[in-house]
């Protein structure tokens, strides 16, 4: 009777290990997928930022574009925090934020004074390399985030199902496994 109890505990422990291992795999896939999506958001935002910088540089090299600064051109909370960070040496700021029912990705990097800026701004005391603001990029990622949430639920459901099936099979097949092990011991 004691041997039977020992075998039961052994198979239950093995089953739990298999279930935990399978759950770990599914959780790992979900975390990796989230990380890859976040990296893609950042890559996209950096590309938009670089396009804006290149456009500004081209404009400055071809006589500039004169834009009058209006009262609506003030930084929001995200941009103010980013600008403060740039003064402390941060190279960029990014975040996934909720805006009512939308998910938005925000990115901001500093705007440095370049040679092409000097014809218009040298009299203002600008020096090449100074940070004189930043460029903020915002885009809607609601659709991707909704799909990722459905994907996470799918991973969790599949993980639970596979783990449950593996656990059930190992416990329900326990007597047959024990008989085959006894047969091996007698040979």
Tell which residue, 113, 149, 151, has the closest CA to residue 132.
113
Rounded-to-integer distance, Cα 180 and Cα 4, Å = 14
Kindly state whether residue 132 falls inside one of the protein's structural domains.
Answer: yes
Structural domain harbouring 44: 35-60+75-151
Kindly state whether residue 166 falls inside one of the protein's structural domains.
Answer: no
pTM (global) more than 0.85:
no
Kindly state whether residue 133 falls inside one of the protein's structural domains.
Answer: yes
Burial (CB < 10 A; 0-12, 13-18, 19+), residue 46, is middle
CATH code assigned at 139? 3.30.450
- What pLDDT is attached to residue 1? 58
Mean pLDDT by 10 residues, the chain (187 residues): 71 76 82 92 95 87 70 89 93 95 96 86 88 92 92 79 71 54 50
- What pLDDT is attached to residue 184? 47
Kindly state whether residue 175 falls inside one of the protein's structural domains.
Answer: no
Kindly state whether residue 117 falls inside one of the protein's structural domains.
Answer: yes
Kindly state whether residue 8 falls inside one of the protein's structural domains.
Answer: no
- What pLDDT is attached to residue 179? 53
- What pLDDT is attached to residue 171? 61
Kindly state whether residue 1 falls inside one of the protein's structural domains.
Answer: no
Contact 139, 153 (CB under 8 A): no
Kindly state whether residue 181 falls inside one of the protein's structural domains.
Answer: no
Per-residue model confidence as pLDDT tens digits over 176-186: 544 544 554 55
Rounded-to-integer distance, Cα 69 and Cα 66, Å = 9
* Count of structural domains within the chain: 1
In the chain, the DSSP E strands lie at 93-99, 102-112, 131-140
């Amino acid at each position: 009777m004691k041997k039977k109890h020992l075998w039961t505990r052994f198979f239950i422990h093995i089953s739990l290990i298999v279930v935990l291992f399978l759950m770990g795999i599914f959780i790992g896939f979900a975390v990796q997928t989230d990380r890859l999506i976040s990296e893609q958001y950042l890559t996209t935002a950096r590309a938009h930022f670089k396009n804006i910088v290149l456009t500004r540089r081209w404009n400055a090299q071809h006589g500039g574009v004169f834009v009058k600064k209006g009262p609506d051109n003030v930084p929001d909370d995200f941009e103010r925090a980013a600008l403060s960070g740039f003064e402390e040496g941060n190279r960029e700021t990014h975040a996934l934020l909720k805006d009512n029912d939308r998910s938005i990705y925000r990115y901001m990097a500093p705007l440095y004074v370049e040679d092409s800026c000097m014809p218009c701004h040298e009299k203002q005391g600008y020096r090449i390399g100074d940070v004189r603001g930043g460029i903020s990029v915002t885009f809607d990622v609601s659709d991707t985030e909704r799909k990722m949430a459905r994907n996470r639920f799918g991973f969790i459901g599949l993980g639970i199902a596979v783990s449950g099936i593996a656990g059930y099979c190992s416990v329900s097949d326990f007597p047959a496994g024990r008989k085959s092990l006894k047969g091996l011991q007698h040979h």
